């Protein structure tokens, strides 16, 4: 990396770093004043979950997802996200947005409402996919929320790097290859993000009712369960790390290998899901297919290569057709101490982290490496705040605190470069905030959360409910200006109109539509 640093420090190249674009996708459950899951439909005032650019739903009608477009600064991201929250709070009555990644008190699994997207073929497919997720993993698991961070470097940066490395590849192929270099290093080191930003060490007992788990009562309260050194239970076996997908080893060495692995998981029947059948006894769809994955989005990775899919196009086809355009970081919990679930300094640290992943050497991996990264993730989820914890490193074991300190030290020159580009010190300060956590000078979000629960004598539910009410007041006391509110209302109306247009444009049967969709995966057999 030193050679890259010296070259990037030149005045004519330093400004390339200002071209970084970032955006977020932030999920939050709608809940009632008593903290129970809201069973109301997705509010019409928020527009169509199928076609709205900024406001949609994830698994459930109650699980809102706010999407910001790619912009130049963290402050621009947060300004858009703030406006979306303020508009939403003006339209959901006395409901709240739950501040934690782990859900509120849940009732029976079948009572959790699956998201609806209208009567079009594409809308029906989205709903059936979610029915399949509920069938396979249970609906409670799908109520977990998080923040996804979208990151891309500008074309001018890739042109500079392409020339500097003397590559003879097509620029698009070069960019895709180097994004996969970033992804491999990210997977090696993403345990650090879970340690630094994990904010889900506890759950309501209702979330694990009827499931095997290793959690214990918090402060003796059987309704509030935790793991004493946990960071993010969301990222472990109680969350997205499902038993079925443990058999899936995805290769990130290059785009063809990645596509081939996931296509096989989608195309080949998986016996337990095959036994369930695509349709139930009444002939209604209950899942899209019987593959290990219904579609590629079902693979719960901590990071994804992305290229925006066009209408009717699969995410893998978009990558095959146009290569990697950006990456999506998916291992971040909602920060319950931030009204927006994320802050500007966290984004700046992520920029430093991702640049480090790109510019450091990134050797190809094998199955053993894949398993090692999974093992490190499992350890960090349950024991990440144990000062004696060791992680697998180059076939041996290494103390977490030593490895974390080394990685953060390596990021310092990148933070300084970014600060020079932006003529400030925000990136260095963002890095220092994380170094303080590793040195034990300030608590991680998980540690801070458990400390507050203990000091206040609260259960996880009581603590999260109080925080949700605080954030509700924060947004309700700052309503949008009339012109801003009308602009959001206009976008909502137009999205509903677009949904009607999509429904009117459908031709053929849903079975034909689904067959044409899955036919796209044959490109992996070339």
Q: What is the pLDDT of residues 269-297, one digit of tens each?
A: 999 999 999 999 999 999 999 999 999 99
* Termini Cα distance of the chain: 37
CA-CA-CA-CA torsion sign (350, 351, 352, 356)? positive
Q: Is the pTM of this model over 0.95?
A: yes
Task: Extract the residue ranges of the chain whose pLDDT is less than 50.
Answer: none
Residue matched to tokens 């809308």 = 123
Compute the distance between CA of residue 47 and CA of residue 319 in angstroms, rounded to an integer.
29
- The 3-class SS string of 162-184 reads HHHCCCCCCHHHHHHHHHHHHHH
Query: pLDDT at position 2, please?
Result: 64
Query: pLDDT at position 257, please?
Result: 94
Query: pLDDT at position 238, please?
Result: 86
Q: Which of 210, 209, 193, 217 is nearest to 103 (CA)?
A: 209
**194-225 confidence digits (pLDDT tens):** 999 999 999 999 899 888 899 999 999 999 99
Query: pLDDT at position 210, please?
Result: 83
Compute the distance between CA of residue 322 and CA of residue 446 in angstroms, rounded to an integer.
39
Report DSSP letters for 400-418, one per residue: HHHHHHHHHHHHHHHHHHH
Which CATH code of 3.20.20.80, 3.40.50.360, 3.30.590.20, 3.20.20.70 fits the domain covering 2-525?
A: 3.30.590.20
Query: pLDDT at position 77, please?
Result: 98
Contact at 8 Å (CB) between 449 and 224? no
Contact at 8 Å (CB) between 134 and 106? no
Q: Which of 218, 219, 220, 223 is nearest to 206 (CA)?
A: 223
Compute the distance between CA of residue 505 and CA of residue 30 in angstroms, rounded to an integer.
32
Query: pLDDT at position 239, please?
Result: 80
Strands (E), 17-142: 21-31, 55-57, 63-67, 96-97
Secondary element (H or E) of residue 223: strand 221-226
Strands (E), 58-200: 63-67, 96-97, 147-152
């Amino acid at each position: 990396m030193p050679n890259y640093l010296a070259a990037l420090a030149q005045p004519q190249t330093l400004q390339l770093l200002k071209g970084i674009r970032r955006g977020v996708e932030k999920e939050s459950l709608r809940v009632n004043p008593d903290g129970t899951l809201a069973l109301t439909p997705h509010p019409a005032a928020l527009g169509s979950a199928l076609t709205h650019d900024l406001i949609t739903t994830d698994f459930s009608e109650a699980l809102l997802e706010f999407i910001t477009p790619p912009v130049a600064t963290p402050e621009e991201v947060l300004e858009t996200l703030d406006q979306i929250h303020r508009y939403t709070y003006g339209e959901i009555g006395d409901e709240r947005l739950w501040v934690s990644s782990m859900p509120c008190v849940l009732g029976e699994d079948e009572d959790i409402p699956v998201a609806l997207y209208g009567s079009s073929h594409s809308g029906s497919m989205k709903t059936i996919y979610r029915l399949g997720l509920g069938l396979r993993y249970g609906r409670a698991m799908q109520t977990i929320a998080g923040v996804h961070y979208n990151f891309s470097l500008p074309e001018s940066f890739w042109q500079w790097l392409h020339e500097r490395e003397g590559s003879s590849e097509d620029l698009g192929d070069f960019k895709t290859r180097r994004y996969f270099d970033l992804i491999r290093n990210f997977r090696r080191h993403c345990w650090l993000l879970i340690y630094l930003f994990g904010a889900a060490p506890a759950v309501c007992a209702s979330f694990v009712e009827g499931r095997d788990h290793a959690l214990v009562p918090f402060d003796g309260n059987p309704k509030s369960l935790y793991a004493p050194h946990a960071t993010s239970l969301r990222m472990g076996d109680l969350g997205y790390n499902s038993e079925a997908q443990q058999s899936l080893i995805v290769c990130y060495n290059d785009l063809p290998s990645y596509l081939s692995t996931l296509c096989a998981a989608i195309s080949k029947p998986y016996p337990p899901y095959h036994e369930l059948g695509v349709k139930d006894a009444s002939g209604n769809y209950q899942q899209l297919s019987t593959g290990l994955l219904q579609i590629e989005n079902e693979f719960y990775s901590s990071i994804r290569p992305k290229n925006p899919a066009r209408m009717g196009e699969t995410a893998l086809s978009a990558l095959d057709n146009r290569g990697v355009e950006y990456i999506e970081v998916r291992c971040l919990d909602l920060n319950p101490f931030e009204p927006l679930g994320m802050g500007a300094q966290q984004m700046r640290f992520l920029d430093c982290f991702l640049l480090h992943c790109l510019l450091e050497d990134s050797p190809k991996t094998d199955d053993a490496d894949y398993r090692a990264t999974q093992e490190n993730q499992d350890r960090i989820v349950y024991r990440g705040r144990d000062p004696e914890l060791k992680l697998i490193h180059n076939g041996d074991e290494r103390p977490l605190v030593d490895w974390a300190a080394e990685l953060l030290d390596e990021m310092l020159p990148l933070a300084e470069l970014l600060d020079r580009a932006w003529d400030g010190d925000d990136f260095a300060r963002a890095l220092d905030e994380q170094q303080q956590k590793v040195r034990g000078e300030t608590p991680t979000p998980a540690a801070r959360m458990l400390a507050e629960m203990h000091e206040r004598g609260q259960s996880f539910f009581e603590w999260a409910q109080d925080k949700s009410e605080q954030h509700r007041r924060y947004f309700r006391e700052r309503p949008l200006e009339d012109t801003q509110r009308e602009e959001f209302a206009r976008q909502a109306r137009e999205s509903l109109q677009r949904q009607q247009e999509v429904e009117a444009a459908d031709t053929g049967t849903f079975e034909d539509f689904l067959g044409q969709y899955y036919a796209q995966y044959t490109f992996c057999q070339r």
